[in-house]
Amino acid sequence: MKNLLLAIAIIAISIPTFSQVKVRPGLRLGLNAATITNHEDSERKIGFDGAIFANIHFTRFYELQPELTYSNQGFKRRNIIYYTGNGTNEIGGGFNINYIGLSVANKFFVVPNTGLHFIVGPSIEMNVSDDSQYDDITPIDFSLFGGVGYEFQMGLGIEARFKQGLIDVRKDYYDDPNYHDDNELYNYNNKLNSVFQLNVSYKFDF
């Protein structure tokens, strides 16, 4: 009898909570400012990023948002000028890495009755193409991201994120001892994805 009463009490408490759960699909589009850390003469390149997502509203202060993402990353090389016997030559360029992946954004609405929120979560991405001419690129990247956003009542939102990769982009970095000082796994010179993202999003209300 006690167990039955306890179960009824739990259900009674849970019903108001789960009745507030609402799932809304949406789109997110924006721009990346991406680079690769510890890469000589590199600077951030502008690329496109986007996502389709399912926003799960649990409470007034917390939403969970799984996202299927696309992100154009890489870096832009600063122009390097060197002199030869035939005159002056200029070298520029850089390269692109295109990723598709899965992110899980945790959104915390910390200011009551406003759309201001903070974002944090992990992301795992797969390299689907790149135009690097020098090194093979690691096929998988795992990253953490965080940011801030604002959502209007009609479902339109703006946000800024910073995403930091955790896996070296060089494919053989963890296997080839030539990449490491004294054959150690880490030599404080990891080449990692580093991306600033500015996005506009919209949640549909069907």
Q: Encode pLDDT of 26-50 as tens digits.
A: 999 999 999 998 877 778 999 999 9
Which CATH number does the domain housing residue 194 bear?
A: 2.40.160.20
In a domain, 112, yes or no: yes
- How many Cβ atoms from other residues are within 10 Å of residue 38's Cβ? 13
In a domain, 62, yes or no: yes
Stretch among 49-58, 126-135, 148-157 having the lowest mean pLDDT? 126-135
Beta-sheet strands, E only, within the chain: 22-36, 42-43, 45-59, 62-77, 80-84, 87-91, 94-108, 116-130, 140-151, 156-165, 193-203
Quote the number of domains for the chain.
Answer: 1
Q: Residue 161 contacts by C-beta under 8 Å, 6 or more apart in sequence?
A: 119, 145, 146, 147, 196, 197, 199
Residue 9 clears pLDDT 50, i.e. is over it: no
Q: What span, in angstroms and rounded, lies between the C-alpha atoms of 154 and 87?
A: 60
Domain that holds residue 86: 19-203
Q: Residue 22 contacts by C-beta under 8 Å, 6 or more apart in sequence?
A: 56, 57
Q: Is-above-0.85 flag for pTM?
A: no
Residue 117 clears pLDDT 60, i.e. is over it: yes
Mean pLDDT, residues 10-29: 69
In a domain, 13, yes or no: no
In a domain, 187, yes or no: yes
Q: How far apart are the first and last CA of the chain?
A: 43
In a domain, 4, yes or no: no
